[in-house]
Amino acid sequence: MIQLHQVSKIYKVGGQDFYALRDVNLTIEKGEFVSVCGTSGSGKSTLLNIIGCLDFLSSGQYLLKGENISQMKDEKQSAIRNRHIGFVLQDFALIHNQTVLYNVMLPLLFSKMSFRKVKAHAMDALACLGIRDQARKKINQLSGGQKQRVAIARAIVTQPDILLADEPTGQLDSHTGMETIRILSELNKKGITLVVVTHDPTIAAMAERTITISDGRIVTDLRNE
C-alpha cells in the first residue's frame, strides 16, 4: 500500500540544510495498524505529511498503491489525498463557524460526487460515528470528544484507503482519548490502513507495529505482540 524508498525531507534553516527526514525506507501493507513514536521534532509529523501528500519530499521515492507520488504535481496529489487519505489531527482541523454537516461534507465538495449525494454520504458518516443528531450544530458548540468524532467522520466520508492520525488524543481526556482510539481501531478492522502518530505508549501498544523515529531516521520497526 505505502512504500517509501530513501525518502528525505530537507528544510533550509538560516541558510543551512536541516533534515526533517533522512533516507527513510518504510513499507506499510494494506489494512495494517501502525503507530509512529518519537520525541518532539524527531520527524513523526513530517513523515505523516509526506505519506498524506500534504508535503513534497526532497529526495527519494514514494509509491502509493504502486503509483509513484513523488513526481506528481499538487493537483494530482490533492486528488489522491481527497480520494484515498483521511486525516485526524490533534487540533481537529475543523471550521468552527460552520456546521458539523458542512465540515463532514467538505472533502466530498472537492470530489467528483454529485451534490445530491454529498449530503447523504455525509449524514451516513455522521451516523457511523453516532453523531447524526449533531449535524446542524456549529463546531464551537461541541465538546472535545464530539469534535474528534466529527473529524473522524470527515476523514472517512470519502471511504479512504488510509487514515492518518497525528496525536488524535492530544487534546482529549484519557477516557475520551481511549474512545477515539477504539473508533479508529474499529475502522482499521474494516480494512482501512491506519497510521497513528502518538507520544502515548498505551496507544502505541494497541497497534500491530510500532515505528520509532529519531532525528529523521527510523531507529526501530517492531511488531507488537
Partner 1 sequence: MKTLHLFRSFFRGIRISSVLLSLMMTATILIGVLTYARIRYVTTDYTTVKETTLENAYYIQSFPDPKDLVNGNFQLGGVTIEELQAIEQDPSVQKIYTIRTANPLSYKDYGISIVLYEPELLYAFPELKEMGIDFSKNPNGCVLGSQLFQGIRTGDAIELEFYQPKYSTASFTVAGHIQAPYKHLTFSSSSTNSTADYLVSAQNIIIMQATDEVISRLSSLAEINYQQNYIIAFQEGASQEQIDTVLKKVMDKGIAVSLDDITENTQAHVSKRLKQWLPRPLFLLLSATVAYLSTVLLMVRKKEKELAVWYLCGCSKPRCSGIVFVSASILAVVPILINTAFVFLAPTLDWLGILDLSGFSVTKDALLPILGYYLITVVVCLIVTRASMAKHSPLTYLRGV
Q: Please state the closest distance from residue 104 (CB atom) to partner 1, in A.
A: 10
CB 158 within 8 A of CB 111: yes
**Does 67 participate in binding partner 1 (rule CB under 8 A)?**
no
121 binds partner 1 (CB under 8 A): no
CA distances to 78, 109, 195, 203 from 29, rounded to whole Å, are 22, 29, 11, 20
| Touching partner 1, residues 135-174 (CB under 8 A) | 154, 158
17 counts as binding partner 1 under rule CB under 8 A:
no
| Strand pairing class (67-68; 85-89) | unpaired
Q: From the CB of residue 13, how many other CB atoms can be counted at a distance below 10 Å?
A: 9
Q: Determine the Cα–Cα distance for residues 115 and 200; give it in Å rounded to an integer.
A: 40
Kindly tell me which of 47 and 89 has the beta carbon lying closer to partner 1.
89
19 or 221: CB nearest partner 1: 19
Is residue 58 involved in binding partner 1 (CB under 8 A)? no
CB of 207 to partner 1, least distance (A): 23
Q: Does 71 bind partner 1 (CB under 8 A)?
A: no
- Burial class from Cβ neighbours inside 10 Å (0-12, 13-18, 19+) for residue 220 reads exposed
**Cα–Cα–Cα angle for 149, 154, 156, rounded to 5 degrees:** 95
- Which residues lie near partner 1 (CB under 8 A)? 45, 49, 54-55, 74-75, 77-79, 81-83, 87, 89, 91-95, 97-98, 102, 105-111, 115, 118, 154, 158
